[in-house]
Amino acid sequence: MPDMVEVLIDSVRVSLMSPQRIVILRQKDAERYLPVWVGPYEAEAITVALQEVEMARPMTHDLLKNVFTIFDALLMRVEVVSLRDEIFYGNIVAEVDGKIVNIDSRPSDAIALAVRAHVPILVSGEVMAAASIFPEHDMQQEEPPPSVISAPHPKSVGADDKRLSVFEDFLSQLEKKKDERDDKNKPKDKPKDKPEK
């Protein structure tokens, strides 16, 4: 296994200006954080599992965990293995009949599964080096803007709004870059044909 760093889910952050959510992963033995953009449904699946909310019927990630169990596949860990073109790539590692199986996955789905199966979440050292932040060095502590609220893991030690507010500038920059990218990728209006005389 290449250089991997174990992380914990620090919080799930919600932007009121965008349908996207951010899962903040914190290195287990350091104050280093990795923000990962996820969709609203995946964020909800992670939050539901973190808060141990009982659902009447299995959600997709519960179903996936049940399938692993029924086929005697032992979930060992999930990984964030690479970052290419601002997209994170994940991996689910399981043991099936004594063999290690790697299953390609979006990190959001892998994390939602890891929370349910209580398995470690690991991040490639290269990904941490490229995309992680040290809040005390990278940004100033201020109150969070009204457009961003946090939903900390209820069991996370010291995960309060004051500590999470260090992400304000970082999140604002991410949203600004995303808006700029979206504007750049919008199709330009075609020039209207001149009316014939």
Q: How far apart are CA 18 and CA 40, in angstroms?
A: 10
Mean pLDDT is lowest, of 80-94, 130-144, 155-169, for 155-169
Mean per-residue pLDDT of the chain = 79
Q: Which secondary structure element, helix H or strand E, spans residue 50, and what is its range?
A: helix 40-50
**pLDDT value, residue 174:** 59
pLDDT tens for each residue of 119-149? 999 999 999 999 999 876 544 444 444 333 3
Report the DSSP pairing between strands 74-84 and 87-96.
antiparallel
| Chain-centroid distance, C-alpha 133 | 14
Lowest mean pLDDT among 74-83, 128-137, 145-154, 168-177: 145-154
End-to-end, the C-alpha distance of the chain in Å comes to 72
Per-residue pLDDT at 18 exceeds 80: no
Quick one: pLDDT at residue 54?
A: 81
Of the two residues 172 and 20, the one the predictor is more confident about is: 20
Give the pLDDT confidence of 60-75 residue by residue, as tens digits: 898 999 999 999 999 9
Are 71 and 96 in contact by the 8 Å Cβ rule? The answer is yes
Confidence of residue 150 (pLDDT cuts 50, 70, 90): very low
26-35, 143-152, 174-183, range with greatest mean pLDDT: 26-35
Select from 4, 119, 109, 14 the least CA-distant residue to 62. 109
How far, in Å, CA of 189 to CA of 125, rounded?
43
Structural domains in the chain plus CATH codes: 4-182 (3.10.690.10)
Contacts of 188 (CB under 8 A, 6+ apart): none
Looking at the DSSP bridge assignments, the partners of residue 25 are 9, 34
Q: How far apart are CA 175 and CA 20, in angstroms?
A: 10
**Tokens 């899962």, residue located:** 23
Smallest Cα–Cα separation from 114: which of 159, 157, 52, 65? 65
Instruction: Give burial (CB, 10 Å; 0-12/13-18/19+) of 118.
Output: exposed
- When mean pLDDT is compared across 31-35, 137-141, 167-171, the lowest value belongs to 137-141
